[in-house]
Amino acid sequence: MEKLIITAALTGAEVTREQQPALPISPEEIAIAAEECVKAGASIVHLHARNADGSPTQDKETYRRIITAVRQRCDVIIQVSTGGAVGMTPTERLAPVTLAPEMATLSMGTVNFGDDVFMNHPADMEVFLRAMQKHGVKPELEIFDTGMITSANRWLKKGLLQGPQHFDFVLGIPGGMAGTPQALLYMIEQLPADASWTVAGIGSAQLSLGTMAILLGGHVRVGFEDNIFYRKGELAASNAQLVARIARISQELNRPVATAVEARVILGLAPQ
Ligand code: KMH
Ligand code: ZN
């Protein structure tokens, strides 16, 4: 089995400081959290940007400050969000891709998102895919439900996706596929043979699905974007605490954790 790639989803767009006092918001806080996560075993950081008041933004300059601050502190694969927050326009969401990060997320369909709708029109997806091709950015395909794998296959046939793709199963969103072992097993069966995958379990599913992924040869995403608790009723102290737990479990299961250099080889990214 390949070494385990741990992605740290540090901030997200929805979690607030009131819910999780250790949430990193400013570029400097995000960079400190990134460095702590790398030391704990992460090789990718999934980044969202916030304004000073904590509200989500896809502002290019804010992303630039975050990326610069992260790169000053550690070597890690930078993956920006193109999901942003519900209600943002596709043009707004696409802004950080023009900074040519190594990776960016790309949602493969529309999904109910709690009381909101996270819109991903096929015409917008095509624009996102073309922009990622132009800037040399590897997409991580965000899958909230099974039909979204069909959607990815469609883009592959149209030539807008190449090579082995990297999928992220985001399981447990209210409105998407459940965060259960059965859902994960079903998803894996649908994948192209050469694909790699990671799982982002929402809430308490983060630990159970992450552990399954270690055993099944997938990769794991943890962090405050998806889960703010260490265990039921106990907030996590930091993003790094969640990374460290997955790294520990993986080591115990005889699956070493990848560095950023090793993760680039696994994902087919250019060396930095
Ligand atoms: N904030 C969600 C509506 C992504 O980063 O690509 C979308 C999201 C997905 O977080
Ligand atoms: Zn995200």
pLDDT tens-place string over residues 167-199: 999 999 999 999 999 999 999 999 999 999 999
Compute, in angstroms, the gap from residue 224 CA to the centroid of ligand 2.
10
The structure's pTM equals 0.98
**Binding site membership of 7 for ligand 1 (Cβ less than 6 Å):** no
Percentage of the residues of the chain whose pLDDT score is greater than 70: 100
**Binding site membership of 103 for ligand 1 (Cβ less than 6 Å):** no
DSSP assignment of 9-62 equals E-S-SS--TTT-TT---SHHHHHHHHHHHHHHT--EEEE-EE-TTS-EE--HHH
The residue contributing the CA closest to ligand 1 atom 1 is 85
CA distance 249 to 235: 20
Residue whose pair of structure tokens reads 């046939």 in the numeric block: 157
The ligand placed nearest to the CA atom of residue 83 is: 1
Domain boundaries, position 147: 6-267
The residue contributing the CA closest to ligand 1 atom 4 is 83
Q: Average of pLDDT values for 152-156?
A: 95
Q: Is the pLDDT of residue 203 over 90?
A: yes
pLDDT tens-place string over residues 60-77: 999 999 999 999 999 999
Residue whose CB lies within 8 A of the most ligand 1 atoms, among 81, 89, 117, 168, for a mutation test: 81
pLDDT tens-place string over residues 222-234: 999 999 999 999 9
CA distance 62 to 85: 15
Coil, helix or strand for 216?
helix
Q: Provide the pLDDT for residue 220.
A: 99
Residue 212: name the closest of 175, 182, 251 by CA.
Answer: 182
* Backbone torsions φ then ψ of 9, nearest 5 degrees: -95, 95
Residue whose CB lies within 8 A of the most ligand 1 atoms, among 118, 148, 173, 221, for a mutation test: 118
Residue 128: name the closest of 153, 109, 112, 145 by CA.
Answer: 109
Q: Average of pLDDT values for 133-152?
A: 97
Residue 233 is assigned to a structural domain of this protein: yes
Compute, in angstroms, the gap from residue 81 CA to the centroid of ligand 2.
5
Give the chain's domain count: 1
Compute, in angstroms, the gap from residue 118 CA to the centroid of ligand 1.
8
CA end-to-end span of the chain, whole Å?
A: 24
Q: Provide the pLDDT for residue 33.
A: 99
Compute, in angstroms, the gap from residue 202 CA to the centroid of ligand 1.
12
Q: Which atom of ligand 1 is nearest to the CA of 142?
A: 6
Is residue 130 within 8 Å of residue 161, measured between CB atoms?
A: no
Compute, in angstroms, the gap from residue 81 CA to the centroid of ligand 1.
6
Residue ranges in the chain assigned as alpha helix (H): 27-40, 60-73, 90-94, 122-135, 147-157, 181-189, 205-216, 239-252, 260-267
**Binding site membership of 142 for ligand 1 (Cβ less than 6 Å):** yes
Q: Is the pLDDT of residue 163 over 90?
A: no
Compute, in angstroms, the gap from residue 191 CA to the centroid of ligand 1.
21
Instruction: Please give the distance of CA 152 from its chain centroid, rounded to a whole number.
Output: 17
Residue 150 is assigned to a structural domain of this protein: yes
CA distance 242 to 199: 14
Residue 1 is assigned to a structural domain of this protein: no
| Domain containing residue 52: CATH number | 3.20.20.70
| 106 confidence band (pLDDT: 50, 70, 90) | very high
Q: Provide the pLDDT for residue 247.
A: 99
Residue 272 is assigned to a structural domain of this protein: no
